């Protein structure tokens, strides 16, 4: 009986030892991928959008503005019936528009043209601005000379008091009746009012270079 008991105990011990050696899941065994990991992998492997190598569009607005400014200035020359070369702009303003008969005071009717002249000089004038008064041949030579000087000075003063940036650049002179652009008389010797009107003028030369 004692032998049977010993064998029984041995049998039970062996059985317990075998049961205790069953394999357990390892903590380092691969686990199912989480949603965050899946998203990260998708982001890494996804094809990225190609980076544009085209240069950014630059200068469009500035270019359009420059074209507009050039066009505006050309329009001013045209409005004032001027002539423009690469070196200068020549403007002739009628004395009949600028002044009353035998006067040197600027008339309000001339303000619009003179404002355009201020803008043109400020934008394009790089050197001296010559303002020269002229008269027709009617009347005394000395008187006409003095009147032409006073009219040139009157235009200068108006420009200087109404926005001209560099008034010191203006040089004035008067030529009286000595430099007509049209005949004061017709071919038969009679008076030519149209010719005299053209001669009564103030000439402005705007130099575009220093």
Check: CB of residue 109 under 8 Å from CB of residue 183.
no
Q: Hey, which residues does 174 pair with through a beta bridge?
A: 133
Q: For residue 132, which phi and psi values (nearest 5 degrees)?
A: -125, 125
Does the predicted TM-score (pTM) go above 0.95?
no
Tens-level pLDDT at each residue, the chain (210 residues)? 555 555 555 555 545 555 545 444 444 444 555 555 555 455 555 445 555 555 555 555 544 444 445 557 779 999 999 999 999 999 999 999 999 999 999 999 999 999 999 999 999 999 999 999 999 999 999 999 999 999 999 999 999 999 999 999 999 999 999 999 999 999 999 999 999 999 999 999 999 998
Check: CB of residue 61 under 8 Å from CB of residue 68.
no
Q: Superfamily assignment of 81-207 in CATH?
A: OmpA-like domain (3.30.1330.60)
């Amino acid at each position: 009986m004692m032998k049977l008991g010993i064998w029984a105990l041995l049998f039970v011990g062996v059985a317990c030892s075998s049961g205790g050696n069953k394999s357990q899941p390892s903590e380092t065994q691969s686990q199912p991928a989480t949603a965050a990991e899946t998203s990260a992998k998708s982001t890494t492997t996804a094809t990225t959008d190609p980076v544009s190598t085209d240069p950014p569009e630059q200068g469009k607005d500035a270019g359009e503005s420059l074209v507009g400014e050039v066009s505006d200035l050309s329009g001013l020359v045209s409005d004032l019936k001027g002539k423009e070369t690469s070196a200068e702009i020549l403007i002739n303003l009628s004395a009949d528009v600028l002044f009353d008969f035998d006067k040197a005071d600027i008339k309000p009717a001339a303000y619009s043209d003179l404002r355009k002249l201020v803008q043109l000089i400020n934008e394009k004038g790089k050197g001296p601005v010559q303002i020269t008064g002229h008269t027709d041949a009617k009347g005394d030579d000395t008187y006409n000379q003095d009147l032409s000087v006073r009219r040139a000075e009157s235009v200068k003063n108006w420009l200087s008091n109404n926005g001209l940036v560099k008034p010191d650049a203006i040089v004035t002179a008067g030529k009286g009746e000595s430099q007509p652009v049209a005949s004061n008389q017709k071919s038969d010797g009679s008076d030519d009012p149209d010719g005299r009107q053209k001669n009564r003028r103030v000439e402005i030369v705007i130099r575009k270079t220093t």
